[in-house]
A = this chain, B = another copy of it.
Amino acid sequence: MKRTSFAGMECSVARALDVVGEWWSLLVLRDAFLGVRRFEDFQRSLGIARNILTDRLQTLVDYGVLERRLYSERPERHEYRLTDKGRDLYPVVLSLMRWGDRWAADETGPPMVLTHKACGHDVMPVLVCPDCRTDVEARGMTWRRREAGDPAAVR
């Protein structure tokens, strides 16, 4: 079943979903962030049909989010590793995890604990303004269409 493409929409959320909005893609990426690299390990972790997994991995490779690397010649074996473009999806996966921890965990609580290596604390990262460094929430932000006078990229 072919999905609608959002690529033509003038919206970065839609364009991002065009790459990672497919069923399973974000769970494949979650596993990649957990260190999974090999087809068999993705398959074991996700429990999906091999043909669907093959298709999702190929799509992520085609988009440049994962790269396929030969790690054994005999027998020929490949592994899938995050590219820079793929690693930059970390905030997406983390934001989903944070929300799931808060609003969809069962009575046993969040299944995973994250540790920030630099300071050693168990934490759940938060969004802040890169300028004033205070926490950001929806009500504290406004949006406008970018116009001619605006810089091409925002910090």
A residues adjacent to B (C-beta < 8 A): 1, 3-4, 6-7, 10-21, 23, 26-27, 30, 33-34, 48, 82, 85, 87-105, 109-119, 121-134, 136-146, 150-155
A30 CB contacts on chain B under 8 angstroms = 11, 13-14
Are A12 and B118 touching (Cβ within 8 A)?
A: no
Cα-based distance from A124 to B19 in the complex (angstroms): 20
Which residue on B lies nearest to A18, using beta carbons? B104
A144 CB contacts on chain B under 8 angstroms = 112-113, 115
Q: Contact check: which of B4, B89, B131 meets A119 at CB < 8 Å? A: B131
Q: How many copies of the chain does the oligomer comprise?
A: 2
The dominant DSSP class at the A interface is: mixed
Nearest Cβ in chain B — how far from A77, in angstroms? 24
Once A23-B3, A144-B113, A145-B111 are accepted as A-B contacts, the answer to whether A126 and B123 lie under 8 Å apart by CB is no
Which residue on B lies nearest to A4, using beta carbons? B23
Cα-based distance from A116 to B140 in the complex (angstroms): 6
